Amino acid sequence: MSHRSSAFFGASLVIAAASTTALALPSSNSINFDSMSLGNPPGVGGPDIRVPGDSNWYNPSNSSTQQAVTAGVGLLGTNGLVVGNNGSGNDSVIDNLRTPRLLSDAGESVAPVNSTNNVFQWSLWFRTIPTSSPADTFRFRVESYGPDRTTFLGFQKDGTGNLIARAFGMDSSAAFVSQDITGLNWGAWYRVTGTLTFADGAANDSISYSIFDSTNFLVGSATTPSWEEGARQLGYNGGNIFGVDSLQFHSRGGFEGDHAIVDDVTYSSIPAPGAAALLGLGGLMVTRRRR
């Protein structure tokens, strides 16, 4: 907790402890990696541990190696989660890792999801290991996750070697659509936020992303549809819509070695009226950190 305000972290714990689906209160988790020693995140295991509220991470079976938490590389000199090409797995996915699940998910209020929260928010700090454009393909992704992914924000190279963030959504026909955030620098720290808002019915869920630099200046934003139409139209998960309660990080293809560092991860499942309040709390965290 060397760079997160104790007031914010304590508030997060209070929110998480008070969380109940019956009252539609927030379900939240905050992870700064500072207490983790060099090696794998604690509790990495298989599908049997993917239950709501479990504190374990999940390393999917299509990844041949587990993540490392490397000391001294996180934000402001603290620990951070290193993701990269440390093995080769199914679908070219390397170093795949999912965070612990929240106590309650966010999703549509109708069957089969029946969620009492309809907003999934997350925030994290991120930087690339390369400080200039790598020769090979670079792909790092942050995905909103439930039984499957519902969105992702991918960091990659554009046609001239610049670092960009590309938000992938799906239109009403389940075709991919994308929107880019440009002006990013290799090796620089960024605070990345996502807000996934669910609405009952087809083709109306949306995800908004914002990226801030280390001075809290807004670099850019993007908004796309979610992937709900991919689920409804048998794109994945058997044609069923579902809720979201965790994040997944992975790199895909690219050069051998470390690709990116993730630090200070927070994510919440909340009812819509509480979204603005938690966003304000997140802003307080950034303000306190910079003092």
Q: Which long-range contacts (C-beta less than 8 Å, at least 24 apart) are formed by 44-51? A: 44/97, 50/98, 50/101, 51/101
Q: Take residue 214 and report the two structure tokens written for it.
A: 């280390």
Q: Write out residues in the chain with pLDDT < 70, as ranges.
A: 1-25, 38-49, 60-67, 86-95, 235-237, 253-254, 273-291
Determine, yes or no, domain membership for 163. Answer: yes
Residue 198 has what pLDDT?
Answer: 96
Q: How many domains does the chain have?
A: 1
Determine, yes or no, domain membership for 1. Answer: no
Determine, yes or no, domain membership for 82. Answer: yes
Determine, yes or no, domain membership for 169. Answer: yes
List residues bridging with 152 in a β-sheet.
143, 168
CATH of the domain at 21: 2.60.120.200
Determine, yes or no, domain membership for 116. Answer: yes
Residue 81 has what pLDDT?
Answer: 87
Residue 78 has what pLDDT?
Answer: 82
Q: Do 241 and 112 contact (CB within 8 A), yes or no?
A: yes
Determine, yes or no, domain membership for 119. Answer: yes
Residue 152 has what pLDDT?
Answer: 92
Q: Which residues contact 217 (CB under 8 A, 6 or more apart)?
A: none
Determine, yes or no, domain membership for 143. Answer: yes
Report how far Cα 144 is from the mean position of its chain's Cα atoms. Answer: 6
Residue 62 has what pLDDT?
Answer: 55
Q: What is the pTM of this model?
A: 0.82
CA distances from 215 to 72, 190, 211, 263, 278 (A): 21, 9, 11, 16, 20
Determine, yes or no, domain membership for 232. Answer: yes
Residue 40 has what pLDDT?
Answer: 65
- Residue range of the domain that includes 147: 6-290
The three-class DSSP label of residue 258 is strand
Q: Do 175 and 204 contact (CB within 8 A), yes or no?
A: no
